[in-house]
Structure 1
Amino acid sequence: MKKLIPLLFISSSLTLLGGCQSAYYSAMESVGQHKRDILVSRVEDANESQEEAQEQFSSALEGLTALINFDGGELAEQYEATKDQYEASEKAAEEVSQRVNAIEDVAEALFDEWSDEIEEFSNATLKRQSQGKYKETVRKYKKVIGAMRKAESSMAPVLSALKDNTLYLKHNLNAQAVGALEGEYKSIKQDIEVLIKEMNVAIDSSKQFIANLKQ
């Protein structure tokens, strides 16, 4: 019986969360902000987060370059700088993930509502046109969210490598440690370049999606 309590709690929590989201969208619609408007706003927010993440990961690469080129001085300061860059990159990645999740939430609510309302048409021509627009929008949305998720997944190996470098440097504050990290530098540089490229694809795709939604 005890095992049922956590499951019931989780189920109730999910139901409550869903109810809160529904109440939020209803409240926004009451002041003229419909789900389509919220979706556009959240895609724009995600674009902003991705651009900020690009800048942060580029900054982390610059910091790593400075570390590899370390030629004397306080290595402890280099460690602190490396640690700060990793933590800032982790925060930027979390922001991107949260905003992509927010997009999926409102998109699901929008498409569910749209699909249900299509069945309310009595005019066959209008119904067919609405269905066509619905299918086209869903198709374009899947392309956008797929690109965003791909870019998001590209952050994981970079963060993992930055964390490893930070920990290794923490445990070995000497010139030999810096030399040992040189082998990782090229791989991290390539991963960051791929990440930035994929984020550009996601940003460009989402801008086209926004333009289509506003038509």
Structure 2
Amino acid sequence: MSRKSALRAALLTATILVTPAISGCASAYYGAMESFGMEKRDLLVERVVKAASAQEDAKEEFVSALDAFKAVVDVDGGELEATYNRLNASYESAEKEAERVRTRVKDVQIVSKDLFKEWRKELDQYSSASLRSSSERQLVETEQRYEELERRMLKASASMDPVLNVFKDRVLFLKHNLNSRAIASLEGEAAQIETDVSALIADMERSIAEADAFIKDMRGETA
């Protein structure tokens, strides 16, 4: 069995084990992963990678949704319903990607919390005071680095909601007013939405960059 297949089997086993007893889910999951050489630090890096990827995908969906919205102001009255359908599909896709980002960020938070808790507990196992002190300093530095990463991820995640609300309002407006007057009244909104999405994308790009730097640091890679 390949390592990838073994890991997949371990994940399935952990899922089966934890379903009846939520309180033991973390221990069962981490135990299964550790048996295949996946420590909490490896899981943290993996989840940061996934969170960054989800943010990248969400950024692309928001850009697509913005393009769909801007196209609305250029259509003929006979195309309104088809245009609404396209815009609504873009909104729903963006909303789905936004939820995926939130889930990925929560996954990162769960593993990081468990990793730091374990690390701090294991400090008491040192017999060497100097090694313990060095490890504790490293723990504090890593926690501080992670806190900045988490702050940026949460900021980027929170930035999605106002933009989604703006899109949802306009989609509903079109749904309830499928006529040329509704389209004309939206013309002035495109510039503001473009500004909002640009700010969101900037937040996401900063968060992605911070995630990349954190991943390199955790892997011991040079810049």
For 1:103, the equivalent position in structure 2 comes to 108
1:123 to 122, 125, 128: 128
Verify: 1:149 aligned to 2:151, yes or no. no
- The answer to whether the 8 A contact 2:47-2:108 is kept is yes
Deviates more, 1:96-105 or 1:174-183: 174-183
Instruction: After TM superposition, give the deviation of residue 16 of structure 1 in Å.
Output: 4.1
For 1:139, the equivalent position in structure 2 comes to 144
For 2:27, the equivalent position in structure 1 comes to 22
For 1:10, the equivalent position in structure 2 comes to none
C-alpha separation between the residues in 2 aligned to 1:105 and 1:59? 31
Deviations, residues 56-105 of structure 1 (Å, cap 9, x unaligned): 00001111111122244411000000110110000000000000000000
1:61 to 54, 63, 66: 66
- The answer to whether the 8 A contact 1:154-1:191 is kept is no
Output the TM-score relative to the length of structure 1: 0.90
2:196 to 191, 195, 205: 191
C-alpha separation between the residues in 2 aligned to 1:18 and 1:145? 25
Q: How many residues align?
A: 202
Cα RMSD (Å) of the superposition? 1.5
Residues 144 and 176 from structure 1, CA distance in 2 versus in 1: closer, same or farther, beyond 3 angstroms? Answer: same
Instruction: After TM superposition, give the deviation of residue 189 of structure 1 in Å.
Output: 1.0
C-alpha separation between the residues in 1 aligned to 2:183 and 2:21? 51
C-alpha separation between the residues in 1 aligned to 2:22 and 2:144? 27
Q: Secondary structure at the match of 2:187?
A: helix
1:36 to 41, 50, 60: 41
Counterpart residue type for residue 130 of structure 1 = S
For 1:112, the equivalent position in structure 2 comes to 117
Output the TM-score relative to the length of structure 2: 0.87
- The answer to whether the 8 A contact 1:42-1:103 is kept is yes
Deviations, residues 8-53 of structure 1 (Å, cap 9, x unaligned): xxxxxxx943421221011101111000000000000111111111
- The answer to whether the 8 A contact 1:45-1:99 is kept is yes
